[in-house]
Each structure stands twice: as structure tokens, then as C-alpha cells.
Structure 1
């Protein structure tokens, strides 16, 4: 532990999870782990095809275990993308980000010299919703030769890496999340009251329990988390800074290099992500389907 309270040395708490994941196998596809505590590449499935409930159940099981699933060489249409995502639940429509004109369930990220990327901050998606996304499926349509990777962080591993005193301090704390922190500049003054009624501030636990695995995960971020309830402003800001800094550890991360027609399915309940904005002025076009989740507890 250094003077700031950050650990140094081996992240020994990852060993048991690495061993557990290495022993998993699935009947309907091949899976290769690509990270220590998160990340696996799946082969042997064509996502443009319809799949049985048994296959979908196994994909869900793999998602809960590995948190990030990578599918290469999947030339799905927008309609097939939506159809596959709907196998896992109802899909969201994002009120602030442009969508595919034919399929409003697909958020479209089209970045180039004219429109720069700005998603390069660690976050869970839409924590300003009462029920944030369960997960998201992102399809690479056009990617730069270099750059534009997406990084993912295992927030269960981050939580378990905290010292026991800090875990005890934050268990039972709640934080306010607000869409205005990121999207407020897009809201016209004449629409502000209506949008606030649609999307009021929400309160989520600082540490949530994953509803399927029961793993405890840090669940706050610098984009949408405004403050921790019942703490003085300075203490709240310091604690948010301290906890969100955990995502910076490479030991907890997976870095995905995109290729055209790669799909990545991540568990938004247990994973944060960061879109590297290092490819300007090159073009990067992605489409994302997000699956409605549950209220964090």
C-alpha cells in the first residue's frame, strides 16, 4: 500500500476467479478466455441466425461469468442486431444520442473529422435511469486501422481489491445520478421541466449486488454520479474520486481491438467501459443495442 492508500504488488484476489473461469465450458459454442477476470471470445455461432432458448441461456451464463463476450466476423444487419439483442430482454431507446433511422433501438456512434468522440471516460451506461441497462451489444461497422479500442473494467474485482475498512465504509452508502451532468447541454430551456419530469435524479447504491451472480460491484462513475448522500460535499467528492480511480488499474481491465463486424456484449451491471478517443480525424462507426435492466440493490 502506498501513501495514498492505493495497493501495489500482486492482485492476489484475482487468482481464484481466474481459476474458476478457466474450468468453465459450454455445449453450444467454443469459448476462449482473453482476460484475467473478464473477457472471452466466442466462436462457433452465427449471430445472424435464430437460436434456441438453450443457446441464449448459455450465452447469458457466459456473460454473467466473463462479463464481456467478443464475437468476431459477424456481418449482421441492423435488423439482425436488434433481433439478437431482443433475445435477452426489452431494448432501450436513448433520448440524447442519435439512433439508426430505421431501427431507433440502435444508438449510432458515427465519429470522424467533423464529429469527434467524447466517450473517453470510465462509466456504466445510463445510470441516470431508475433501471440502468442490463447489458449492451455493440457492433463495429467501420473502424480505424489504429486506435478506437474500447476498454472494460471489472467492477467486482475493483470492489474486492479495496481494503476491508473501505469496503465496510461504503457498503450501505447511496449516490445521486443525474443525466444533466452529461446531457444537460443538449436540453433546450423550454424543454427542461419536461425532461426533468421524464428523467428525475435517481438514487443507486454505491455498491450494488449483481442479481444473477450475487457478486458485489462498485456502481458509480464520474460522468453521471453527482454526489454520495449524507456526506459533506468535500468528503463525497473525494470518495467518488477515490472509488472511480479503481477502474484505472490494468489488472482489472480488458482492452478490445475492434475489427469490422466484431460484436461485443458486456454486462453493464458489473462492468464499466471507456471508448478510447485516439483516432481523430479517422472514421469510426458503431451501433449499440442496450437491454433494459433492473433497479440496482
Structure 2
């Protein structure tokens, strides 16, 4: 079954007052065999040393989503932390922090966030989907509002050899409008014009169904319910059936971890190898999250060599 910090009874982990960041302070508690770890001993409000940055990169590749407790970072500090791992994405639709445009605001009183309450990988409607993201809890309901992450590499590994061979040469379309329809994100003339600009700049894009991770070389299922609309070259019914199987397969509990948010929590995940689901069980209560999204590279599949990828 999926695990959460509550179920693991990890409240005994100390929360030291950190004045800086040293690699010797970093401590890791694994949450499940497939995905997830809590990292303590790092203060995200402070610049990272090169050693700590390298350590966090290694942990991200190993655990795919990292959680940090008791952080009091500002949006500026959240941006600075995320920028250690690459340049940041500017989202075409969501509102942002007034003076920090790289930090999007996921506020249930400002936006319809149904697009978060399903399994998805962020911004796969881009030619170069994000490397990862950093999510900070800003305002939480008294209960509910958990987020689940699933390992798309663990899900791939669990497929039969025949299914792996079937999928490795396939590609699929990812469409911005699938989770951002005009009916929900064009309520005012200003919103409509913003949506139309995004639609013009972001036509449907084709990605491999199986993605090879550019750093680990591990394979992952790279279709998601949020943005994938069809598998290229298949009849509509065959495409829909195969996508339905893959969506259900990735979301199995044995590939996932469930996180119960507390004030001061920050999550950092590898968007190239995971999917996530924000549980929408707390209405009419209010929830605000801030996300920094790190730019990534163009996905390539098993049939594409590194040389072809860079040519």
C-alpha cells in the first residue's frame, strides 16, 4: 500500500536548527522501495555548497522525490534553491508570485485545479518537459490535501517483456488543452487572450511512450492522464485501450508514495521519471502551494541513440 509520513511514524526524526549546509549534516530516510525519501540536515533558505548540491542530485536520481521538513523559505529562496539545478520555466497559464515570476501559485481560491487531481507529469505538452520541480506548502487545510508520487521507472520495470517490446518504438501526442481547456481557463477576456497565446505557442507535441532517462539511462513510462491524448499510428480504440492500461498500471500503490503535508514542507522531484496526483478531498477548505519548475531536455526513447539525440 502507499505510504505516508504519518504511517511511517517518523516524528522522532530530529529537526535541528541549521545555520548553513554541510554534506556531513545530510541524513536520509527512505520511504518506500520504489520511490521517496526524507532529507534532513539541509536548510533550503541558505545557498547550497557544491558538495551538498551534488549530494542532492545523487539522492534525487536514486529516490526520485525528496521531502524536506521544517523549512521556512520565501519565494525568492525557493527560486534560488531550484536554480541550483537548472534554469526555471515560466508557466503559460498559472498565476505567479508578484515579484518572482518563476514561482507559480497553485491556489484553490484563484484557479480551478482539477488538472492536478489526476496522475500527471508536469508540462509534457512542451518540446522539452521539465527536469523537475520544487513545491512548497504555503497554506494547508486542516486535513486532506495529500500528494502522491509514482515511479514511472518502477512501473516500466514491472511490465512484461512482450509489453516492453511493444511500447519501445511507439510515440504519443501530448496536448496543453487536455488539462487546460478554454472553458475553465478562459473565464475572462484577459484569461482568454492568455490561453490563446499559449495555444498558439504550444501545439500538440510528440514524445516517446517509453523515455530513457538522460542521466541514469533507466527507462520509464512517459504517458500521463493529464496531457497524453493518443498513441501515434494506432487506431483510436486501440490507442485508448493501451493508454488506459498504462495510466492504471503507473498508479498502482506499489510504485507510489503518499505524502501528508505539514506547514514548512518542501518536495523536490524528478519530473523525467515520475508522475504525481494532488488529492482533491479538502473542499471547501483552502490550499495554497508554490512551485518552481526546472527546465529539462527533449525526451528520447530506447530506439534513439545518444548520438541521434544530440544530432
TM range (shorter): 0.7 to 0.9
Structure 1 residue 294, shift from structure 2 partner:
0.6
Q: Are 2:174 and 1:177 equivalent residues in the alignment?
A: yes
| Counterpart mapping for 1:108-257 below 5 A | 108-112=105-109, 117-118=113-114, 119-185=116-182, 186=185, 194-257=197-260
Please identify runs of 4+ aligned residues in structure 1 that moved more than 2 A: 114-117, 186-197
Structure 1 residue 162, shift from structure 2 partner:
1.1
Corresponding residue number in structure 2 for 1:17: none
User: Structure 2, unaligned stretches of length 5 or more?
Assistant: 1-22, 301-311
C-alpha separation in 2, matches of 1:191 and 1:157: 37
Structure 1 residue 196, shift from structure 2 partner:
3.6
Q: Are 2:278 and 1:275 equivalent residues in the alignment?
A: yes
User: Structure 1, unaligned stretches of length 5 or more?
Assistant: 1-25
- Judging changes above 3 Å, is the alpha-carbon distance between structure 1 residues 247 and 39 closer, same or farther for their aligned structure 2 residues? same
- Judging changes above 3 Å, is the alpha-carbon distance between structure 1 residues 75 and 280 closer, same or farther for their aligned structure 2 residues? same
C-alpha separation in 2, matches of 1:203 and 1:34: 34
- Residue deviations 1:168-192 (CA, integer Å, cap 9, x gap): 1011100011101121313577777
C-alpha separation in 2, matches of 1:244 and 1:262: 28
Note if contact 2:93-2:195 (Cα within 8 Å) is conserved in structure 1.
no
Structure 1 residue 27, shift from structure 2 partner:
4.5
- TM-score by structure 2 length? 0.83
Structure 1 residue 262, shift from structure 2 partner:
0.3
Corresponding residue number in structure 1 for 2:290: 287
Structure 1 residue 147, shift from structure 2 partner:
0.4
- Residue deviations 1:211-262 (CA, integer Å, cap 9, x gap): 1111100000122111111111110111111111112311111001100110
- TM-score by structure 1 length? 0.87
Note if contact 2:102-2:292 (Cα within 8 Å) is conserved in structure 1.
yes
C-alpha separation in 2, matches of 1:28 and 1:36: 23
Structure 1 residue 115, shift from structure 2 partner:
5.6
